[in-house]
Amino acid sequence: MLFTFFQMKRYLIRRVDMNEEFGIQLHEKLKAVYFTLLKMGANKQYAEDILQETAYQFIKYIDGIDANFAEAWLYRVAINKYYDALRKNKHANNYVLTFNLQDLLDEQTPELYVLQKELQSTIQQTLGMLQPKEMELLILKYSAELTLNEIAILFKTTDKSIKTQLARARKKFNEIFERTGNYGENINY
């Protein structure tokens, strides 16, 4: 059955053996995964297709998925499917990360808009120069706002290991960011 991302909620709620609250919670988790895929560079159509496949697999294997790790399972499956799609279509290094700076600003002037677009472009270019895992760690931590523990579950490692890898990824991001013309401006998270 093919359906759009937003039709998925109704389908999940109507699904046999799923109560309405579970369907709503699952839809919210899938929406977060969807936006993470977009931030990683998937276009809207790819993200929706990947999300549909992920939701289908989740429903199919729901009995074998530990409830404590369901969110991590959704992220891992979707991200793996995204990387598989990249390998198949050879669109590697087309990573995008968008920050909604509008939320941080009281007023949006033309000057601030231009600065925002320049910063987004620089961040996208800098992320594109990182290794895929480094980019993924930064997006999961600072854009998807996952905790160290949730990221550790995704990568099947410890919190301390993720903390160290994040520190290295941040350092490398800052070094590249400075090298590409933003001298002396560190991005501190």
Which tokens hold the place of 97? Answer: 């990360």
Rounded distance, CA 75 to CA 37, Å?
A: 9
pTM beyond cutoff 0.85: no
Confidence of residue 3 (pLDDT cuts 50, 70, 90): very low
∠134-58-149 over CA atoms, to 5°? 40
Domain 101-179 carries which CATH code? Answer: 1.10.10.10
Residue 128 has pLDDT above 80, yes or no: yes
How high does pLDDT run on average in the chain? 77
Question: Identity (one letter) of the amino acid at 4?
Answer: T
Q: pLDDT by residue (tens digit) across 35-90?
A: 888 888 788 888 888 999 998 888 888 888 887 888 888 988 998 888 888 777 75
CATH 1.10.1740-classified regions of the chain: 8-89
All residues at 6 or more sequence positions from 104 whose CB lies less than 8 Å from its CB, including other chains: none
Q: Where in the chain is the domain with CATH 1.10.10.10?
A: 101-179
pLDDT at 158: 94
The CATH number of the structural domain formed by 8-89 is 1.10.1740
SS (H, E, C) 33-77: HHHHHHHHCCCHHHHHHHHHHHHHHHHHCHHHCCHHHHHHHHHHH
Confidence of residue 159 (pLDDT cuts 50, 70, 90): very high
Could you read off the pLDDT of 138-150 as tens digits, one per residue? Answer: 988 888 888 898 8
